[in-house]
Chains A and B, each alone.
Chain A
């Protein structure tokens, strides 16, 4: 299989979005505060990146109330999972092929 940089999904160009997807890949669901904690970014920054991923329908949002406070939990969709796995594969292929070239 021949892969190229073009196969990398635009949504994963940012490290923050890649981080969100990585955290959601190994967690059933995470709330906003936990994500912010792991990624070490500001509220606004995280919200923007989340919106982009939501637009791609890679993640979905569930709003609920915990102790009368609004609580937002984010989940990875099937589509997001597929795209993320594909992205990992492409990354691997690129690295491998470049290694071969340099040998």
Chain B
């Protein structure tokens, strides 16, 4: 016959399995810190080297050759951030004896990818219409939506992060002249602070 201890263990394992099979918990907090550093570096280069600082929705005074450089920087930041996230999360998954490409991570990625894809297309439309000033606010807004959506399949904390990014996106859509600054705040500072918080909370 089973002992009381066994039943408590049964319940503990049921709870752990429910969590493990529905949430991807190997998402790395340090990856958030790194993404923040890349974003701050990117924003700094765009601002100081290429003088990019849209102060109006239609940003006429900006050369198109510099604009393609700024787009290039943005894409480089994105690729480096995603690459680091994949690398550090698979390292964390290995440590936790979990497969990084499993049912939960697939669901988390799918729930992020759809708002992000919609945002990406929307940004291409803005770009083609010359509405440069709205690009930074849109990246924040759609990224926030993606995080909010993905929080169901990973740490709940991502919900608040999503709301913060959405708030910053909407604020910067209104105050376009602070677009780059708020972008650096959202993708840079908030990522770094949140990443450290997640690291201390879950990875020690």
Name A residues whose Cβ lies closer than 8 Å to a Cβ of B.
5, 15, 18-19, 22-23, 25-27, 30-31, 34, 37-40, 88, 91-92, 94-95, 98
8 example contacts (A-B, Cβ-Cβ < 8 A) are as follows A18-B10, A19-B17, A22-B21, A23-B18, A26-B18, A37-B103, A38-B21, A39-B17
Interface of A is mostly: helix
* B4 CB–A CB distance under 8 Å: yes
CB-CB < 8 A to A91: which residues of B?
Answer: 7, 10-11
CB-CB nearest 4 A-B residue pairs: A22-B17, A23-B21, A34-B103, A26-B22
**How far is it, in angstroms, between the C-alpha of A95 and the C-alpha of B6 when the chains are bound?**
10
B94 an interface residue at 8 Å Cβ cutoff?
A: no
CB B78 to nearest CB in A, in angstroms, measures: 29
Task: State whether the Cβ of B68 lies closer than 8 Å to any Cβ in chain A.
Answer: no
Known: A22-B15, A37-B99; 9 extra A-B contacts, CB below 8 A, are A5-B2, A15-B13, A27-B21, A34-B21, A34-B102, A38-B102, A38-B103, A88-B11, A98-B4
Which chain A residues lie closer than 8 Å to B4 at the CB level? Answer: 94-95, 98
Contact B17–A23 (Cβ < 8 Å): yes
Q: What is the chain B residue whose CB lies nearest that of A21?
A: B14
At the interface, yes or no: B8 with Cβ under 8 Å from chain A? yes
